Amino acid sequence: MVKEEIKFDIKVYDSIDELNHEDAFLLNQARSVTQFAYAPYSKFQVGAFAKLMNGETVSGTNQENAAYPAGICAERTLMSTASSLYPGIGIETIAISHRNLNGNSDYPISPCGICRQSFVEFQLRTNQSIRIILGGQEGRVQIIENALDLLPLVFGAKDLK
């Protein structure tokens, strides 16, 4: 038997005030777009805001559905919008925030498994790694330099060959 260890780095900041101007802008936009989420069931609004490799920006919010789990996460809404409006263009940085109407929104949340898989697929098809900024409406902020770090044992297209 061989034991393998998988590690990755997360940069942790005490608040948005420690971020550079562009990262702070992206996170503030993600915080703001949470208001457009459709989350009448969970009361957990998620907003995503990204800068693409061509300099354009796009946003996405979670969209719930009474026929649970037919909803879609903010991150996948954003990726769908980006690929529809700007085919083949990679995402440089995506900021993700949340507003929990039932509790606290002062800490970062991490993308779900489906979003992690979708990030990897998006990275592979655009040949561009995606940098992720995570933060609530206030409080600590986390930055992950490559979305692939969130899914180290990825199942991908190469596995289907």
Positions annotated as catalytic residues are 75
Residue type at 161 in one-letter notation = K
- Tracing tokens 């060959």 back to the chain, one arrives at 161
For residues 74 and 38, the answer to whether their CB atoms sit within 8 Å is no
Count Cα neighbours of 131 within 13 Å in the Cβ-side half-sphere: 13
User: Locate tokens 């990030």: which residue?
Assistant: 119
Strands 141-144 and 57-61: unpaired
3-state class of 160 per DSSP? helix
Q: What are the two backbone dihedrals, phi and then psi, of residue 38, each rounded to the nearest 5 degrees? A: -110, 95
- For residue 69, say if its preceding peptide bond is cis, omega within 30 degrees of 0: yes
d(CA 87, CA 155) in angstroms, rounded, equals: 23
